[in-house]
């Protein structure tokens, strides 16, 4: 099982933007003497008022209340008025926070997803219990320790799998086609998830994809770079550069971002500066070791989901003119969180500082608050200001709203139809169905016409029906008209039926136009079910951002002009 998801109540919608940065927090000591100033009196009044409301609700609300859940809801509501990253974590969430930042957990080495009410294995880590037992991508989990998993959430299933290292569990597995593994006995062990999703040499260019920033990420990157350098030396074909892919990387530990930056930039370089409410809270993080690949041309890839620690690294590489940043503007999270341990094994993840890139940029994007949320922040700056800063080589860069790439390249946008196929797991399920019928990996490329014909039959079998956004809006309009004219004897306008036919025809043509793209997605997913590494390598050949980076690194003059205009 890969890194577990955090509790939805505390982290809904935040999974892709969290920065778990640990900086020393001021101890919360009840014995410290606080001067009775105006702010302290306001705090005391607030605590009294909160206590009165809490007691009144607990004693007199019309329905019986879970007073513990009520307290947690009150805390969540209070923190929601601040920023999305200041959150309260209960005991179970605090444990998961530790697993996320360490990249380690006790389990069997699989990731899972739910499709059509069933639990499927979506990935298997080599060398861990699940892989050793013969479990493979596409298998269905039916029971754990003789308990059915149907109807249970993924979090509940993860809890069933987790346990003490060395203890055993049984798992009933079903596999489409061929012989099902049946009931397997597995022994839990410490699983160490590498944060390097993929690394390899493509042509003469090295490529490393980093998924997150944990306590092991620096060593993961170091080993990946050293392996690529050894491979290039063995092939007697020096690399012309390295592509460092941080797209979709939600961030992680601040220290990991600094250490990873030190693998590429000169010793003693400023990577990031953090500043809290007081001048003495400022801390400058500099690299403390000689770089591993100092002279190797570097291209960093980012997109709208590259956040926090990923922005620290890409911002430092850009500001120090160490490499070229390509892709889309990053997420824009310039806030640092401290972890404060609370009584009863609870945790407060509290925003305590802002971070600044080497040129002095604050890349936190402007906040767009809901009018229903009370504004508790004291405004002392203009959020619309985007000041100009300069890199080491005097190139202009701008603060606010994330890291703007040196070369803007749009990634492949997923169409509405593709998103629907993915959300229902139909591309994944078809690949599992295909592998059940083809024990050996197919020759590449797989015939597109035959593949799409088989997929069309599979969609009919699954009773898949796609409704486009215009069709949904027309349906809402039709329903509104029916409601408005109910009892009047007047039906919906005949023009609605004509529009339905036109939209259906338009949808059919758009789906037909996407057949090449869908066929390629099917081929890549089928390849992944046999070999994830080969699938990822093939996927990069279709990647416009990566291909643009390859072109740039293959042209030393163009690369140099980009950094020294």
Q: Can you give the pLDDT at residue 382?
A: 46
In a shared domain, residues 304 and 431: no
Please report, for the domain that includes residue 210, its CATH number.
3.90.226.10
Mean pLDDT computed over 175-184: 87
In a shared domain, residues 393 and 528: no
164 lies in which domain range?
Answer: 104-192
Return d(Cα 517, Cα 546) in angstroms, integer.
18
Q: Which of 11-25, 264-278, 383-397, 489-503 has the highest mean pLDDT?
A: 264-278
Candidates 474, 475, 432, 434; CA nearest to 453 is: 434
Of 24-33, 114-123, 399-408, minimum mean pLDDT range: 24-33
Long-range contacts of 137-141 (CB under 8 A, 24+ apart): 137/432, 137/528, 137/529, 137/532, 138/175, 138/176, 138/428, 138/431, 138/432, 138/435, 138/436, 138/529, 139/173, 139/174, 139/175, 139/181, 140/173, 140/174, 140/175, 140/176, 141/112, 141/171, 141/172, 141/173
Residue 342 lies in a domain: yes
Annotated catalytic residue, options 261, 319, 507, 535:
319
Residue 22 lies in a domain: no
Annotated catalytic residue, options 94, 217, 314, 333:
333
In a shared domain, residues 420 and 359: no
Q: How many CA atoms lie less than 13 Å away from 193 in the CB half-sphere?
A: 26
Residue 530 lies in a domain: yes
Give how far the C-alpha of residue 206 lies from the chain's centroid of Cα atoms, to the nearest Å: 23
Q: pTM of the predicted model, to two decimals?
A: 0.84
327 DSSP β-pair partners? 302, 408
Q: Can you give the pLDDT at residue 385?
A: 54
In a shared domain, residues 222 and 175: no
Work out the pLDDT band at 144, boundaries 50, 70, 90: very high
Work out the pLDDT band at 3, boundaries 50, 70, 90: very low
Of 160-164, 294-298, 407-411, 492-496, minimum mean pLDDT range: 492-496
In a shared domain, residues 228 and 352: yes
In a shared domain, residues 257 and 297: yes
Q: Can you give the pLDDT at residue 23?
A: 38
pLDDT digits (tens, 9 = 90+) for 159-177: 899 889 999 999 999 998 8
pLDDT digits (tens, 9 = 90+) for 213-269: 999 999 999 999 999 999 999 988 899 999 999 999 999 899 999 999 999 999 999
Work out the pLDDT band at 344, boundaries 50, 70, 90: confident
Residue 229 lies in a domain: yes
In a shared domain, residues 401 and 426: no
Work out the pLDDT band at 1, boundaries 50, 70, 90: very low
Asked if 308 is an active-site residue, the reply is yes
Q: Can you give the pLDDT at residue 367?
A: 61
Number of domains in the chain: 3
Q: Is the pLDDT of residue 99 over 70?
A: no
Q: Is the pLDDT of residue 272 over 90?
A: yes
Cβ within 8 Å of residue 151, ≥6 positions away? none
Asked if 92 is an active-site residue, the reply is no
Candidates 301, 229, 298, 357; CA nearest to 560 is: 298
Return d(Cα 549, Cα 463) in angstroms, integer.
42
Annotated catalytic residue, options 21, 194, 306, 308:
308
Q: Is the pLDDT of residue 27 over 70?
A: no
Q: Can you give the pLDDT at residue 345?
A: 84
Backbone phi, psi, residue 8, to 5° = -65, -35
Cβ within 8 Å of residue 229, ≥6 positions away? 239, 293
Better-predicted residue by pLDDT, 373 or 333: 333
Mean pLDDT computed over 199-225: 96
Q: Can you give the pLDDT at residue 177?
A: 80
* Element containing residue 383 per DSSP (H, E): none
Give how far the C-alpha of residue 173 lies from the chain's centroid of Cα atoms, to the nearest Å: 28
Please report, for the domain that includes residue 144, its CATH number.
2.30.42.10
Is 44 in a helix, a strand, or coil? Answer: helix
Q: Which of 64-73, 263-272, 275-284, 336-345 has the highest mean pLDDT?
A: 263-272
Residue 49 lies in a domain: no
In a shared domain, residues 318 and 393: yes
Residue 350 lies in a domain: yes
Q: Can you give the pLDDT at residue 235?
A: 86
Q: Can you give the pLDDT at residue 35?
A: 56
Work out the pLDDT band at 37, boundaries 50, 70, 90: confident
Q: Where are the alpha helices (DSSP H) in 390-493?
A: 416-423, 426-437, 448-461, 469-484
Return d(Cα 204, Cα 206) in angstroms, integer.
7
In a shared domain, residues 211 and 287: yes
Q: What is the DSSP letter of 344?
A: G
Mean pLDDT of the chain: 87
Residue 73 lies in a domain: no
Cβ within 8 Å of residue 30, ≥6 positions away? none
In a shared domain, residues 429 and 538: yes
Q: What percent of the chain has pLDDT over 70?
A: 87
In a shared domain, residues 213 and 340: yes
Mean pLDDT computed over 430-435: 95
Q: Can you give the pLDDT at residue 487?
A: 65
Do the Cβ atoms of 170 and 187 come closer than 8 Å?
no
In a shared domain, residues 250 and 390: yes
Mean pLDDT computed over 186-214: 95
Asked if 505 is an active-site residue, the reply is no
């Amino acid at each position: 099982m890969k890194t577990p998801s955090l509790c939805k109540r505390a982290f809904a919608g935040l999974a892709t933007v969290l920065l778990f940065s640990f900086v020393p927090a001021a101890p919360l000591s009840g014995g410290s003497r606080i001067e009775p100033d105006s702010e302290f009196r306001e705090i005391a009044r607030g605590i009294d008022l909160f206590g009165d409301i809490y007691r009144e609700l607990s004693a007199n609300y019309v329905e019986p209340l879970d007073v513990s859940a009520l307290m947690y809801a009150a805390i969540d509501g209070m923190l929601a008025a601040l920023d999305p990253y200041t959150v309260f974590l209960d005991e179970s969430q605090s444990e998961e926070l530790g697993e996320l930042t360490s990249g380690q957990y006790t389990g069997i080495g699989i990731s899972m997803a739910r499709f059509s009410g069933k639990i499927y294995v979506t990935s298997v880590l080599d060398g861990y219990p699940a892989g050793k037992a013969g479990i493979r991508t596409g298998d269905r989990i039916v029971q754990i320790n003789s308990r059915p998993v149907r109807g249970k959430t993924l979090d509940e299933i993860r809890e069933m799998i987790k346990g003490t290292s060395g203890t055993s569990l049984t798992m009933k597995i079903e596999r489409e086609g061929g012989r099902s593994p049946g009931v397997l006995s597995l022994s839990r062990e410490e699983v160490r998830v590498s944060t390097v999703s993929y690394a390899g040499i493509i042509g003469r260019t090295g490529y490393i994809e980093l998924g997150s920033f944990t306590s092991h990420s620096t060593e993961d990157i170091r080993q990946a770079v050293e392996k690529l350098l050894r491979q290039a030396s063995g092939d007697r074909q020096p690399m012309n550069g390295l592509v460092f892919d941080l797209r979709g990387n939600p961030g992680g530990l601040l220290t990991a971002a600094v250490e990873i930056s030190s693998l590429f930039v000169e010793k003693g370089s400023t990577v990031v500066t953090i500043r809290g409410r007081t001048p003495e809270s400022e801390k400058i993080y500099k690299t403390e070791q000689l770089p591993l690949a100092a002279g190797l041309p570097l291209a960093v890839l980012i997109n709208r989901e590259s956040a926090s620690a990923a922005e620290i690294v890409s911002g430092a590489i850009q500001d120090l003119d160490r490499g070229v940043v390509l892709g889309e503007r990053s997420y824009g999270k310039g806030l640092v969180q401290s972890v404060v341990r609370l009584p009863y094994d609870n945790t407060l993840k509290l925003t305590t500082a802002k971070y600044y890139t080497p040129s002095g940029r604050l890349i936190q994007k402007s906040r767009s608050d809901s009018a229903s949320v009370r504004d508790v922040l004291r405004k002392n700056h203009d959020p619309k200001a985007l000041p100009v800063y300069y890199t080491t080589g005097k190139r202009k860069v701008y603060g606010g709203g994330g890291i703007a790439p040196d070369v803007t390249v749009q990634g492949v946008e997923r169409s509405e139809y593709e998103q629907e196929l993915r959300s229902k797991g139909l591309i994944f399920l078809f690949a599992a169905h295909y592998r059940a019928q083809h024990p050996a990996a197919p020759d590449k490329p797989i015939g597109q016409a035959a593949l799409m014909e088989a997929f069309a039959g599979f969609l009919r079998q699954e009773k898949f029906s796609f409704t486009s956004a215009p069709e949904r809006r027309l349906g809402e309009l039709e329903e509104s008209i029916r409601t408005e004219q109910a009892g009047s004897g007047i039906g919906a306008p005949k023009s609605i039926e004509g529009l339905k036919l036109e939209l259906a025809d338009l949808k059919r043509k758009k789906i037909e136009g996407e057949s090449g793209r869908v066929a390629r997605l099917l081929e890549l997913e089928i390849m992944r079910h046999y070999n994830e590494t080969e699938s990822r390598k093939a996927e990069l050949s279709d990647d416009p951002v990566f291909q643009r980076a390859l072109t740039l690194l293959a042209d030393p003059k163009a690369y140099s002009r980009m950094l020294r205009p």
